[in-house]
Chain A
Amino acid sequence: MATEPFDVIIVGSGAAGGTAAYVLTSLGARVCLLEAGRYYEPGRETPMFQRHGEAPLADAGTPDKPFGFYDGTVDGGWILPEEPYTTAPGTEFRWFRARMLGGRTNHWGRVALRYANHDFKAYSLDGLGADWPFTYEEFAPWYDRAERMVGVFGTNEHLPDIPDSPPGCLQPPPVPRSYERLVIAGGRRLGRPVVASHEAVITQPLNGRSACFYASPCLRGCAIRANFQSPTVMLPPARASGRLTTITHAQVYEVDLAPDGSARGVHYVDRLTHQHHYLAGRAVMLGASAMESVRILFNSRSARFPGGIGAESGLLGRGILSTPGSNVWGRFPQMEGLPPFNDDGVVSLPHIYIPWWLLPEQRAGRLPFARGYHIELYGGRTEPSAYTFDQFNVVSPLSYGKRLKEEARRYYGSFVRFSQRGEMVMRDSNRVVIDPQMKDAWGIPGLCFDVRWSGQELRQTAHAQRSMAEFIEAAGGQLVSPLPSDPAQAITAPGRMIHEVGGARAGADPRKSVTDSYGRVWGVPNLYVIDGAAFPSSANKNPTLTIIAFAWRASEHLRKYLRNELHHA
């Protein structure tokens, strides 16, 4: 265990912080990792074999556990009474938090898709939002490292929206489930690609981790370490290095700067004792989650940075991004009354997905929206739960008695949810600011969100709704409910997909960005933003794999910086 003064203080232990802790300790740095939540041990705590019916309310979601009693999230949720936030009048923002070692990596959906070059350079292609300060080619080596460490199943399909991985990066995907095969056949009829999803689950042993055994939902976490969670993949080797100190219940609220403008430590409050502490280090990395990292920067005010560190460009807190999402449910009569068979697969994660297939049309200006979406599929013969009958209730709301029992058996497993996951266009008007009136239970000023969908996202959603309906029909199914005429009724609220990023975007020009290409805040050479806050754009792909790769790259850069600094000292 390392002691003060640390080489690096890392704030947050999730995808970004866990990766940085692993990379930096492996490169010889002495690291202190600060986590706001409690210690968490998936090997001991994960309910691998508890069945829905054994949980209170049959595992239905509640405000205490929005994704069900057994969900891997500890001390988290949408509404945390101790940690309020506000929204601008007429807007909505859903902000999911997880106060635990590993943060939201314990729960996430494990979709792990690489951004393509057109994702990094979208502004250059259509003039909207902002470019990343590097190309895909420049960034790809860190995707390779990330995939090899994380363990991702998937295939190389040579499709424009999803770059191929070099040999040795991807593991073989599981074969498709029954309903997934119907959709593959439907895609063939439509001439649209339906391919193996890329998921952070291993189907073969990796670095001492066991392969998936195809039982127990991934969203609970995984005691056998077959999926990616920071506490099962990144933190064990960091700990084994002997160079990692972890402090839990530590809510960081301010980065402390030396007179020369460099970072020299952080202030944090112990969430249990309410005691304030100071920790010194030679460099600071913020991986507190995109919005929390922005909040820390805003709250780090000084004579040098009166509006907070990184606020000089006026862009801190601006360009908040979310994922437009919507659902369409299909019912598949051919799946009714099937004989019992095990269709679990990698429980609760899709084996296949529909990548964005209209890039050429979009580039040619033939679509009324600038950015794409992909489609995920969920459903079929999952373990009966509090949600099994939601669609059945729509299809047959009035049966009872023997007929109800017959129908329950017949319809079970015959519904499939198609889910749009889209790209939002980055706009500076979508922002967070500090709400000076509102403080959390520890007296730290909280955030006010002002994030709105534009016509871009609504037109994309209208298109996605129609596409999903076409897929359902082509696969031999029917819509459970008619599509809403207004896409605003279909699109989920900003934040709801738990992919919020942006607010301290990376760029090549200090006047047009908050950090440099390594996430280093302009003007503070040893302060890095390594999580989703640094994203200048958010592709239609969930952000975790890119956060891991970005944090990895930043960590290698910081290691070089520390060596040089030592050399020059």
Chain B
Amino acid sequence: MPDRRETLAWLLRALALSAAPVVHVDSASARQGCAAAPAKPDQIGAAWRGDRGYGRDPDLLHPQVTWALTLTAQQKTAIARLADVFLPEEGSSPSASAVAVPEFIDEWVSAPYPQQQQDRVVLLEGMAALECAGNAPLHTLNASQAQILVAGLHARAAEGKEPEARFFARFRHICLIGYYTTPVGVAELGYVGYQPSARFAGPPPEVLAKLGL
């Protein structure tokens, strides 16, 4: 369980260092939520029992997500705010939310499988901790507030503090998967394969030269 005062302290330090507006505080709901159940996310099911997934023989030519998406609109907005700090818009490169990373995360944490269920706990727990730290619902953050919050999160993660470190690692990882498996992300990484051809030519001369071969 995170020490709430400690968590608050880094956030306040982070806020004090910035010229950002003070985070709006919905005192009643935020405080009540933190005091009553500080970081207890809902769970879809503790263990995978072989049901509710896409099964062992899904139609591979027509991929379908077979489980219900479970995040609320506010949770998805909150995730979008954070994801756009991890993977921001940059020139022609779109932000995470512009390539539907929040929707991918919803698909991920709603899946009935053990890894995804574990990630669901980590993500919702981490978001609850962040919410408590900021004393404000995450979905109400603007971009610069989200930036400050993630800076504080990063500092805590760098020190190995939990649950921030766990949240930082898993949230970042799922964002990376969601982003770089889209056509935009694939192109940004420079993957240019999947081209049927009569022969495999091997790496081009300029690549071999760079490799010293």
Q: Smallest CB–CB gap between A197 and chain B, Å?
A: 14
Within 8 Å CB of A158, what residues of B?
none
Interface string of B171-213 (1 = CB under 8 A from A): 0110011101111011011111111111111111011101111
A341 touches B203 (CB 8 A): yes
Q: Name A384's contact: one of B191, B195, B200, B213 (CB within 8 Å).
A: B191
Chain B's nearest CB lies how many Å from the CB of A347? 8
B90 at the interface (CB under 8 A from A): yes
Report Cα–Cα, A32/B121, bound state, in Å: 51
**B54 at interface (Cβ–Cβ under 8 A)?**
yes
**Are A53 and B193 closer than 8 Å at their CB atoms?**
no
- The stretch among A21-29, A264-272, A394-402 that forms the contact with chain B is A394-402
Asked whether A65 and B56 contact (CB < 8 A) given A52-B181, A181-B203, A346-B200, the answer is yes
Given contacts A57-B107, A408-B176, contact A401 B181 (CB under 8 A): no
B residues near A56, Cβ cutoff 8 Å: 54, 63-66, 107, 111
One of A5-13, A212-220, A447-455, A537-545 contacting the partner: A212-220
The segment out of A68-76, A159-167, A353-361 that lies at the interface is A68-76
Q: In the complex the two chains form, is A398's CB within 8 Å of B168's CB?
A: yes
Cβ distance A182 to chain B, nearest Cβ, rounded Å: 6
CB neighbours of B172 from chain A (8 A): 393, 400, 404
Docked Cα-Cα span, A108 to B52, in Å, equals 27
A400 touches B192 (CB 8 A): no
A335, chain B: closest CB distance, angstroms: 7
**Residue in A334, A335, A384 whose beta carbon sits within 8 Å of that of B180 in the complex:** A384
Complex Cα spacing A345 to B199, Å: 9
* List of B residues within 8 angstroms of A185 by Cβ: 213
- Given the contacts A64-B53, A393-B169, A384 and B211 also touching, CB distance less than 8 Å: no
Distance in Å: Cβ of A106 to nearest Cβ of chain B: 12
Stretch at the interface among B21-29, B70-78, B80-88, B129-137: B80-88
Question: For residues 135 through 177 of chain B, which have their beta carbon under 8 Å from a beta carbon of chain A?
Answer: 150, 154, 157-158, 168-169, 172-173, 176-177
Range class of the B interface residue count: 35 or more
Interface bin, chain A: 35 or more
B50 contact set on A, CB distance < 8 A: 63-64, 79, 81
A409 within 8 A of B: yes
Count A/B pairs, Cβ under 8 Å.
Answer: 216
Given contacts A175-B200, A213-B196, A400-B172, are A46 and B60 in contact (CB under 8 A)?
Answer: yes
A214 CB contacts on chain B under 8 angstroms: 195-197, 199-200
Q: Does A243 contact B (CB under 8 A)?
A: no
Does the CB pair A383–B204 fall under 8 Å? no
Q: Is the CB of B203 within 8 A of A177?
A: yes
A347 CB contacts on chain B under 8 angstroms: 193
> By the criterion CB–CB under 8 Å, are A383 and B207 in contact?
no
Find out whether the CB atom of A58 lies under 8 angstroms from the CB atom of B178.
Answer: yes
Say if the beta carbon of A481 comes within 8 Å of chain B: no
Query: A interface, by DSSP: helix, strand, loop or mixed?
Result: loop
Q: Which A residues touch B116, using CB under 8 A? A: 57, 62
Q: What's the least CB distance linking B59 to chain A, in Å?
A: 9
Contacts of A340 in B (CB 8 A): 190-192
A71–chain B nearest beta-carbon distance, Å: 9
Of the residues A178, A182, A342, A476, contact of B195 by C-beta under 8 Å: A342
Residue of A nearest to B206 (CB): A339
Taking the closest CB of chain A, its distance from the CB of B68, in whole angstroms, is: 13
* A489 lies within 8 A of chain B by Cβ: no
Residue contact A400 to B85, C-beta cutoff 8 Å: yes
Contact residues of A between 401 and 425, Cβ < 8 Å to B: 401-402, 404-405, 408-409, 412-413
Query: Which residues in chain A, 29-59, are within 8 Å of chain B measured between CB atoms?
Result: 38, 45-47, 49-59
A308 to B134, CA, bound (A): 69
Q: Is the CB of A216 within 8 A of B194?
A: yes
Whether, in the assembled complex, B46 has its beta carbon less than 8 Å from a beta carbon of chain A, the answer is no
| Known contacts A57-B107, A60-B177: A383-B60 contact under CB 8 Å | no
Report whether A412 and B189 are in contact in the complex, using a CB–CB cutoff of 8 Å.
yes
Q: A307 near B: Cβ within 8 Å?
A: no
Q: Which of A46, A62, A80, A177 contacts B202 (CB 8 A)?
A: A177
Instruction: Identify which of B65, B190, B208 gathers the most chain A CB atoms within 10 Å of its CB.
Output: B190
Residue A431 is within 8 A (CB to CB) of chain B in the complex: no
By beta carbon, the residue of chain A nearest B99 is A53
B207 A338 Cβ-Cβ under 8 A = yes
**A 219-251 to B, binary, CB cutoff 8 A, 1 in contact else 0:** 010000000000000000000000000000000
Residue contact A339 to B87, C-beta cutoff 8 Å: no
Given A385-B181, A398-B158: A404 in contact with B87 (beta carbons within 8 A):
yes
Is B2's beta carbon under 8 Å from chain A?
no
Q: Do B56 and A389 have beta carbons less than 8 Å apart?
A: no
Say if the beta carbon of B6 comes within 8 Å of chain A: no
The contact of B86 among A55, A69, A338, A401, by CB within 8 Å, is A401
CB nearest to B114 among chain A residues? A63
A319→B188 CA distance, assembly (Å): 51
A174: Cβ under 8 A from any B Cβ: yes
Residues of A within 8 A of B157 (CB): 398
B contact residues around A47 at 8 Å (CB)? 60-61
Min C-beta distance of B98 to chain A, whole Å: 13
- B56 touching A215 by the CB < 8 A rule? no
Q: List 15 A-B contacts (CB under 8 A).
A: A47-B60, A56-B54, A63-B53, A74-B56, A76-B56, A178-B207, A178-B208, A342-B201, A346-B200, A381-B190, A381-B193, A401-B85, A401-B150, A405-B88, A412-B190
Given contacts A384-B181, A401-B88, 9 further A-B contacts (CB under 8 A): A174-B202, A176-B202, A215-B195, A340-B190, A343-B203, A347-B193, A388-B176, A393-B169, A400-B172
Residues of B within 8 A of A (CB): 48-50, 53-58, 60-61, 63-66, 85-88, 90, 93, 104, 107-108, 111, 113-116, 150, 154, 157-158, 168-169, 172-173, 176-178, 180-183, 185-186, 188-204, 206-208, 210-213
Tell me the A residues contacting B by CB distance below 8 Å. 38, 45-47, 49-60, 62-65, 69-70, 74-77, 79-81, 174-178, 181-182, 185, 211, 213-216, 220, 334-335, 338-347, 381-386, 388-389, 392-393, 397-398, 400-402, 404-405, 408-409, 412-413, 476
The 5 closest A-B pairs by CB, nearest first: A340-B190, A53-B181, A344-B193, A213-B196, A175-B202
